[in-house]
């Protein structure tokens, strides 16, 4: 009964150590980092900032960690308009620190954002953070919660009737299996999928670490991609446990239909349906191989099971084992973009003809980026927003990717190629808290008040 009640309400627990002025702050300099679970010290209050009265048409929200991992993590709101680009509008704190803010996603009506914490589990903190963006220029922290069976929030997709689907890459202990988590319209956790016996046996039988998430609501299917077992990036470890699989789900029943394999994929970080594709094909990134694969969810393989994976494009030697390859696809399905994190490179492909994919970037070019990861096209498709920060676990882990802690605002040319232009420097802007570590972004385009875009 208690389990059902908690699942219905979602759970949220306060910090285990309360904030005591003059007492808890010095503990940060005394307590050493522990191997995995960290001392759940309360956060230091963020330094003051001056809010701006700007009301730009294009707004960038960046889910950001305090560089010192002591101050509160926060949502930074910036202008993306041409005449006021890069001006800070507002900073919205969450009531905890050291979460290593991860992905960020909007509700369909643009009134709510949800951001996940990659390392929240290590301080026994809530892992999902909700922001009220009813006033887009003054986001307010709304609530936080956590799931019971899973942790390590990753990709986020809004439900048409309110609420979200969110991939949680690990179990409650950061091991496999993770879960596909569903919230209601009040953002309470209501299910952790799969719940059926067959699906549960499936994810217990092999690594289930869902990261990528794409949903075709019209065709009644979900694709999730398995990446890595989170706890294996922390010391002590014998190496990162990477997956080679994707899961095809029936949306209406929330059941796994089949498991699709990319042989020797070495971490299938991301998957996205190609807009307008008549077969509902999706692109998936295989990190070890440095390749882009195409998934046909309605074709059947030699084993008779639904879902077929085929190699679409090899991104070349600089894309091999780059820790992470994240992607976005233009709304017309013509162009696809991929961040090669430790190669400091962003690849661009023309996929308008899937039988003749063309590369639009020079794979040997030294681009002005360090550690690019999260990538998102602006709603008008004229710019690419890329955040230059992936993961830094410090002394407790083995993944510490170089970064320059910037948000790039890259022009998209008519042919889909990229022209590097402007950026926002989070290291300087938030130097009073050890710099800012922006992992992800959401863009609001309010140019046409009758037809706003939230992406």
- Domain of residue 228 covers 2-454
pLDDT given at position 354 = 98
Are 224 and 165 within 8 A, CB to CB?
no
Q: What is the bridge-based pairing of β-strands 221-226 and 245-250?
A: antiparallel
Rounded mean pLDDT for each run of 10 residues along the chain, 455 residues in total: 40 61 58 67 92 98 97 98 98 97 98 97 95 98 96 97 97 95 97 96 94 98 98 93 98 97 98 98 98 98 94 98 98 98 98 98 98 98 98 95 98 98 97 97 97 97
pLDDT given at position 303 = 87
Quote the strand ranges of 52-175, DSSP E: 58-66, 74-79, 88-93, 101-106, 112-117, 128-132, 140-145, 150-158, 164-171
CA dist., res. 262 & res. 243, Å (int) = 9
CATH number, domain with residue 48: 2.130.10.10
Q: What are phi and psi of 3, to 5 degrees?
A: -60, -45
Q: What is the bridge-based pairing of β-strands 306-314 and 325-329?
A: unpaired
Domain count for the chain: 1
Cα 389 to its chain centre, rounded Å, is 12
CA dist., res. 279 & res. 442, Å (int) = 28
- Could you identify the residue written with the tokens 């992905």? 103
CA dist., res. 1 & res. 354, Å (int) = 51
Residue 332 tokens read as: 């017309």
The pTM score is: 0.93
DSSP 400: B
Determine the 3-state secondary structure of 200 from DSSP: helix
């Amino acid at each position: 009964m208690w389990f059902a009640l908690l699942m219905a309400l979602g759970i949220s627990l306060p910090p285990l150590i309360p904030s005591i002025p003059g007492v808890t702050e010095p503990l940060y300099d005394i307590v050493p980092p522990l191997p995995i679970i960290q001392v759940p010290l309360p956060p230091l209050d963020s330094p003051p900032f001056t809010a701006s009265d700007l009301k730009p048409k294009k707004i960038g929200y960046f889910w950001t960690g305090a560089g010192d991992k002591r101050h509160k993590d926060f949502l930074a709101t910036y202008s993306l308009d041409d005449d006021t680009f890069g001006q800070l509008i507002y900073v919205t704190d969450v009531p905890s620190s050291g979460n290593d803010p991860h992905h960020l996603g909007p509700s369909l009506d643009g009134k709510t954002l949800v951001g996940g914490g990659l390392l929240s589990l290590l301080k026994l903190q809530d892992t999902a953070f909700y922001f009220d963006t009813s006033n887009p220029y003054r986001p307010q922290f709304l609530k936080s919660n956590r799931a019971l069976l899973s942790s390590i929030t990753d990709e986020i997709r809004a439900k048409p009737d309110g609420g979200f689907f969110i991939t949680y890459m690990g179990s409650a202990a950061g091991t496999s299996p993770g879960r596909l988590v569903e919230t209601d319209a009040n953002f309470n956790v209501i299910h952790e999928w799969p719940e059926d016996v067959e699906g549960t046996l499936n994810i217990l039988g092999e690594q289930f670490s869902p990261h990528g998430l794409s949903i075709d609501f019209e065709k009644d299917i979900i694709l999730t991609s398995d990446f890595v077992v989170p706890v294996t990036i922390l010391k002590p470890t014998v190496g990162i446990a990477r997956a080679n699989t994707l899961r095809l789900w029936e949306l209406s029943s929330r059941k796994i239909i089949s498991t699709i394999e990319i042989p020797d994929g070495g971490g299938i970080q991301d998957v996205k349906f190609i807009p307008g594709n008549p077969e509902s094909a999706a692109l998936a990134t295989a990190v070890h191989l440095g390749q882009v694969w195409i998934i046909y969810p309605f074709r059947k393989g030699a084993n008779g099971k639904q879902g077929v994976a085929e190699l679409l494009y090899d991104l070349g030697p600089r894309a091999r084992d780059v820790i992470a390859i994240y992607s976005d696809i233009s709304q017309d399905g013509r162009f696809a973009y991929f961040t090669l994190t430790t190669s400091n490179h962003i690849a661009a492909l023309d996929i308008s003809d899937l039988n003749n994919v063309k590369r639009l970037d020079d794979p040997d070019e030294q681009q002005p980026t360090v550690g690019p990861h999260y990538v998102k096209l602006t709603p008008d498709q004229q710019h690419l927003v890329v955040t230059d920060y992936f993961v830094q676990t410090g002394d407790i882990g083995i993944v510490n990717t170089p970064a320059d802690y910037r948000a790039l605002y890259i022009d998209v040319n008519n042919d889909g190629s990229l022209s590097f232009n402007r950026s926002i420097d989070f290291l300087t802007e938030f130097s009073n808290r050890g710099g800012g570590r922006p992992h992800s972004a959401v863009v609001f385009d309010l140019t046409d008040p009758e037809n706003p875009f939230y992406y």
